[in-house]
A and B are shown apart, each in its own frame.
Chain A
Amino acid sequence: MKSLIHRLQQHIPVSDAEIDEFLQIHAFPWVEENTVLFFYRGDAEQVRLRHWIFGLPSSQDFFRIPSTRHWVLQADIPHQSRIEYKFEVVQRGHSHWIRDPLNKHLAYDPFGANSVCQGAGYLTPEWTLEDTESRAGTLEDIEIDSQAYGGKRHLTVYLPARFRPRRRYPLLIVHDGPDYKRYSSLKFVLDNLIHRSEVAPLIVALQHPIQRLQEYPDHPAQAQFTVHEVLPLLQERYPIHDIPQMRGLMGASFGGVATLSTAWRHPEVFGRLLLQSGSFAFTDIGENKRGPLFDPVVDFMNRFRKHPGKPSEKVFVTCGMYESLIYENRSIVPLLQKTGMEVEYRESRDGHNWINWRDHLRDALTWLFPGPLWMIYE
């Protein structure tokens, strides 16, 4: 079969029967060491690979093997990479974006699903999957009448398994909470890591944004809501430690900006921060080139860079190497370190997506809220 792959790579015609036989045995995209071969079979005028890898052309043309309906594209895929992609198929002058028909691996986000190519060495972490051994925490929804936003808001509160009202717990507040739960398996992650004593049993409040693109980029109401409405309500209802070291705030993308700006506006409230692929766009000179949505972000980041203060004590920063925000995230690390905060920074070969953020949760949460792993032998 290797010869067939070789022939495809060399754009040598291969019969439908040979392809059928091959597909019954093997999966596409075909990954071998640092190379991936994408394959599409069908009538088309053009086929392109569409992906979200910063640094590579976002559209790459497939090659049609002459006199066949077979389209191939070979690309580099470094070890442990993870790439989300779609195929753009042009038929009768119309372009359609489709998921790779030969690939069963999908990743979901609020906009739908993408196909996923996993490079050699990438494995879905087992602690992200539902584990029947793990005692499950519970979720409860609460409504909050927000003065900051002038209306009802919802929170989902995670209580760890074997929650006891007489015990005190650390608190973690999560921006984009429902998305973290749905697309980053946050509940399974919490259940597993707490059950395994890797993370301290903690209460986690999932914020439900309504207009996240307006609320999260340094909106004063969001900080006000989190610090003066959500936090007091949680402290009133749940047994939560009342010290910054036991309070955490986290978010991804614009949620990362909301996390940093809330902590910056209210230093010494949250002693633990998790910033995942924060949209930390800034300018040294000239205008913001990312569009008007980023204007408040850039305005905040420029102010923050000038006067960072010391928003927290421990900050865990993550980013994917294939994100357009990698430069901004790498830049913020030394700035955070200079404030005197303890900073950990991790990168992965992934893009701006929920699986990337999921895959960093173990490293981040075990560092921010370590559990009694070494001591528990049930």
Chain B
Amino acid sequence: MPHLIVLGPQRLEPTVHHILKEHGIDGDIALVSAGWQEREEEDEELREVLGSQCRVHNLRIHARCEDVFHADTDLFEAHRARQDQLRDLQNLYRFRLDKLVEAAQHLFRHLGDPALVLPERADAIAAIQRLDQHHLQRLQLVHQEFETRWRSLERPAIQQQREEIHSVLGYCPTIAIAGGHVAVLLNRIRMLGIETFFANRRLVAWSAGAMALSDRVVLFHDHPPQGAGTPEILDLGLGYFKGLLPLPHAKRRLNLDDPARVALLAQRFHPSLCCALDEGSRIQATSSGWKIYPHTRLLHSDGHVQHFSHATVLPSPHASEHANQFPSRDALPSAEKAAALDSFTSATEIPTLASFNSSTKIPTLASFTSATEIPTLAPKGESR
């Protein structure tokens, strides 16, 4: 039975109930719908879909975080300061990213002697990847400094919420993570350390839920009403799986008829599989790789988009490694919890919070130019 099932959007053509049934999953299911923000408990549609097959227990992650903010105002202030810092970092990243992607797009559309053009494209991609990597490391640093200073999971207001969640999860072998506002979802899961409860449970996640579980969260929209539509890394994901980049609502958000854009996206995030998720899409982690079902599309580095007429397994070590062996901070004594963000082993891998090694030498924030001296861009119209 797969420990991880990734689905496409569920609102219009829900499939989650069929898939749970197919795998014999019934009974008690914990629901994380924090991406719906203050509407997180308006889950009637989902309960209706799941019907009598399952008893849904909404973990109320968003509401619990609000309670924490009220109870622990120091943490609330620190949290806000961190969000401001992340926002500033994002603006700085965009300054550089937009120019690099614009140059790469130009090269991907440029027709010329392949011997001349291809190395330029490759180097343009490498430049974007270096910037993405740099951004991820800076994000990681912000999170690590926050954790080191505030040791959030040890604070009483959070511990109380975690105990309640833990007791609910005691009878829920399956956790469903719905979509919504991906930054809020990720942020709230991380704040209560929900990911530490994932071990030995089945996860079913869709849209933003799938994005949050990945090792990095990539925002994308090829034709927004304002701006250039440059895909950008928002944050480290929860790192529950690697090697798969979920792209929900692809038919509305991505121009998959444009080989240059497809190639650029696929090459930039290689070796991760860029998977377009729409209604009916489904990916499962198996021992031999990712099992891709019809209605899921795969973006290739040469610009073509692969459709699947039947379920196909694409070999990937990540599918088996990361589906079943998630490290559990929860199992450790509290004093060691912050240090449990471990196993950062390779500089070439995209780091995640879950794989962070505090002994790795990463420059401190103070060694970077002060954020207050850097002009900020207007946000893209959204807040975290």
Contacts and interface: CB of A to CB of B under 8 A. Distances in A.
Contacts of A377: 9, 35, 179-180, 182, 207-208, 211, 248-249
A165 to B, nearest CB: 11
Nearest to A132: B12
Contacts of A375: 181-184, 219, 234, 382, 384
A367 B248 CA distance: 24
B226 A378 contact: no
Interface in B173-212: 179-184, 207-208, 211
A162 interface: yes
Contact of B38 (A164, A196, A370, A373): A164
A133 B382 CA distance: 22
Interface in A195-235: 196, 198, 200
B225 interface: yes
B180 A378 contact: yes
Contacts of A378: 9, 11, 35, 179-180, 207-208, 249
A356 B162 CA distance: 55
A367 B35 CA distance: 24
A374 B381 contact: yes
A370 B179 contact: no
A351 interface: no
B302 to A, nearest CB: 26
Given A162-B39, A198-B225, A376 B380 contact: no
Contacts of B211: 377
A108 B141 CA distance: 58
Contacts of B252: 196
Nearest to B181: A375
Contacts of B183: 375
Contacts of A366: 224-226, 381
Which applies to chain A's interface (DSSP): helix, strand, loop or mixed?
loop
Given A162-B39, A367-B226, A373 B179 contact: no
B221 interface: yes
Contacts of A363: 225-226
Nearest to A362: B225
B12 A133 contact: yes
Interface in A170-185: none
B221 A373 contact: yes
A371 interface: yes
A366 B249 CA distance: 20
Interface of A: 133, 162, 164, 166-167, 196, 198, 200, 362-363, 366-367, 370-378
Top 6 A-B residue pairs of the complex, sorted by shortest distance between their CB atoms:
A370-B381, A372-B382, A366-B225, A377-B208, A377-B207, A377-B248
Given A200-B381, A374-B219, A378-B180, 17 more contacts: A166-B38, A362-B225, A363-B226, A366-B225, A370-B226, A370-B381, A372-B181, A373-B221, A374-B224, A375-B181, A375-B382, A375-B384, A377-B179, A377-B180, A377-B248, A378-B11, A378-B35
